[in-house]
Amino acid sequence: MEPIGRPPYIVSPPEVIPIDVGRQLFVDDFLIEKTSLNRSFHSAEYYSGNPVFDNFPYSDGIWYDPHDNLFKMWYWNRYAASKDGIHWEQPSLDLVPGTNIIFVVPEAERDSSTVWLDLEEKDPNRRYKMIVYLKGPKHNYCSVHFSADGIHWGESVAKSGRCGDTTSVFWNPFRKVWVYSAKDPHVPGRGDTILVETGALKGKQQRVKRRLYWEARDLISDCIWTDEEIPYWIGADKRDLPRPDLNIPTMLYRLDCVAYESLILGLFTIWHGQYDSRPKINDLVAGFSRDGFHWDRTNREPLVTVSEKYGDWNWGNVSSVGGCCLIVGDKLYFYVAGRAGEKNTPNEGKITTGLATLRRDGFASMDAGDSEGSLTTRPISFNGKHLFVNVDTPQGELKAEVLDDSGRVIEPFTRENCASVTADRTLQIVSWKGVDDLSRVSGRPVKFRFHLSRGRLYAFWVSPEKSGASHGYVAAGGPGFTGPKDTIGNATLPHRKRTTNPRGQPG
């Protein structure tokens, strides 16, 4: 059954929330006991030089490989690399000499796939994983392959149960399971259909696209299911509003997921329909999960949107990419597929990849205007020593205090003793006069209370190091990171004073 309503971890949160893993984001109410601040959600901003690549991944993957210090892209059985994430090269490889082809399946048609750079893998020959959807009379399942370098791939080691195209896979590191985000495989008698009344599909029955859920601790031995076993998971709903010009129910076209800091980020590709001369009209909407199954989708405004101008690279078929996002300095990079659309080429047109950027942790912020507001967390616990925030207060101020679990202020961590934070930084330490760190309250239940005026608070975390390393997950990686978690802190940031707004162009 699909989870509905508020996630259970928000309805009944733990008595004490451990926060040793990752930056703590305010995308939902999980961490908040009481607040007078207002939450704002933010959209990514397209890079002015788009598109950055003249083809596009069909989910596939874009990752940063710390071994080679390269951005790497997989698309339609091909491979490209980049030093800066903007300019891409397509090397000549040896599988099909003179091309960048890395994978050939002669007996079936290759559709979508997921390529995963697994930095937790102990076997170097399985460092890269590819789960590719094959379709044909004897297929309609995902095939699993391993690689040491992401270029030379071994034979199939396993196959999944039956599923549909746009099936993707992600690793849930909090529970140590692989999860298939499977498209409904069109099982007769199962699922719903709608009658399309406008656009290119007018008069046709369309099957409602929903995700099915299957988890596997081992991609070889337990990734196969039967039609009866795999449950419905998530789909578009009534809050995913239809376009007025089409007025047909929306559908969930694709769902790519990744661990980002302390939660699972989901990129929901929401399909709104299509016209005879226009590709699929999709938007990317962000969702968040703290268990990998239940989703909080409070905000339904697009994180990355389709263009309404004919001929733009993203005029249609905007879709997410495997790995979801990368961390580059103080920004998140979102690569998305798009089709420009061309006359006399129904529903198709030129296919390219574009880039959109967002402030790091910038999905949502808790805001205050001229009148000061405050936010008190639920009881939390940590083993770190140094409090950090992602904050935008160049014209305002942030201060913090530490409370015991009954709400009494703990000396000397008072508001009056807190050094005022007046800055626009994605990594900013919070300190108190006369004390070096938070070690005297480490390991016991406490609450933080933040006082904010004329600014935005995006995240907080307690780090063991003065570098501000969050020890949270870094999605598809980025320059400076050496593994799946942030153990680096401020060493990944550009050496410049941040003066831009929460969104911005790659520097």
Per the structure block, which two tokens stand in for 134? Answer: 């094959």
- Mean pLDDT over all residues of the chain? 91
In the predicted model, is pLDDT for residue 427 greater than 60?
yes
**Cα distances (Å, whole numbers) of residue 64 to 290, 325, 363, 486:** 24, 10, 21, 14
Check residue 55 and give its pLDDT. Answer: 92
Domains of the chain and any CATH numbers: 14-41+364-489 (2.60.120.260), 45-359 (2.115.10.20)
User: CA dihedral in degrees (128, 175, 377, 373; nearest 10)?
Assistant: 40
Buried b (16+ CB within 10 A) or exposed e, 361-382: bbbbbbbbeeeebbbbbbbbbb
What's the whole-model pTM score? 0.94
Per the structure block, which two tokens stand in for 36? Answer: 């007078």
Check residue 248 and give its pLDDT. Answer: 85
Buried b (16+ CB within 10 A) or exposed e, 97-111: eeebebbeeeebebb
Q: pLDDT band at 501, cuts 50/70/90?
A: very low
Interatomic CA distance for residues 170 and 280, integer angstroms: 25
User: Helix-strand-coil percent breakdown of the chain, rounded to 5?
Assistant: 5, 45, 55
Residue bearing the bigger pLDDT, 211 or 67? 67
pLDDT (mean) for 278-299: 94
In the predicted model, is pLDDT for residue 424 greater than 50?
yes
Exposed, middle or buried: residue 404 (CB in 10 Å: 0-12, 13-18, 19+)? Answer: middle
**Cα distances (Å, whole numbers) of residue 216 to 213, 255, 476:** 10, 18, 21
Task: Check if the beta carbon of residue 56 is closer than 8 Å to that of residue 338.
Answer: yes
pLDDT (mean) for 476-497: 88
In the predicted model, is pLDDT for residue 505 greater than 50?
no
Model pLDDT for residues 18-63, shown as the tens digit of each residue: 999 999 999 999 999 999 999 999 999 999 999 999 999 999 999 9
pLDDT (mean) for 164-171: 92
pLDDT (mean) for 146-174: 94
Task: Check if the beta carbon of residue 269 is closer than 8 Å to that of residue 286.
Answer: no
Q: pLDDT band at 278, cuts 50/70/90?
A: confident
Of the listed ranges 114-123, 191-200, 469-478, the least confidently predicted one is 191-200
In the predicted model, is pLDDT for residue 6 greater than 90?
no
Of the listed ranges 137-151, 282-296, 461-475, 488-502, the least confidently predicted one is 488-502
Interatomic CA distance for residues 158 and 155, integer angstroms: 9
Of the listed ranges 105-114, 184-193, 336-345, 383-392, the least confidently predicted one is 184-193
Check residue 372 and give its pLDDT. Answer: 96
Q: Which amino acid is at 456?
A: R
